[in-house]
Amino acid sequence: MQIVSPFSCSITTTQLFSYFAFSAYQLRKMSSRRSRSRQSGGSRITDDQIYDLVSKLQQLLPELRNSHSDKVSAAKVLQETCNYIRSLHREVDDLSERLSELLATTDSAQAAIIRSLLLR
């Protein structure tokens, strides 16, 4: 299934979900790595890099993209990212169910055509 993003490019839901793969756990893990690496002298990821990633996520989220305030906390961005992914999952499930119902009510020739179009 293709989703047309507000940035005028088509991406699959899988690609979108992959982009939103950051979870609070992963960010905490990165933060603890930074703490350890500061103590050991090396750094894997900088605060600026995390800020850039959070900013990119914010631009992808419909709820926050047009926010009048540029000051949105990273926690808010992550929470909205989780909410958005959940809503996308619900939408995919709903569309899958509707498609299954459609295929069940059409004759086999039409269903074969629809399946062939979906597999492209």
Please report the pLDDT score of residue 40 as a whole number. 56
List, as own/partner pairs, every contact residues 50-55 make where C-beta atoms lie below 8 angstroms and the sequence separation is at least 24, other chains included: 50/74, 53/22, 54/78
Beta bridge partners of 11: 3
Report the percent of the chain where pLDDT is more than 70.
61
Per-residue pLDDT of 41-66, as tens digits, reads: 556 889 999 999 999 999 999 888 87
CA 28, 30, 33, 39 dihedral sign is negative
What confidence tens digit (pLDDT) does each residue in 62-109 have? 888 876 666 889 999 999 999 999 999 999 999 999 998 888 888 888
Domain boundaries, the chain: 2-118
Is 20 in a helix, a strand, or coil?
A: coil
pTM for the full predicted model = 0.56
Residue 11 DSSP code: E
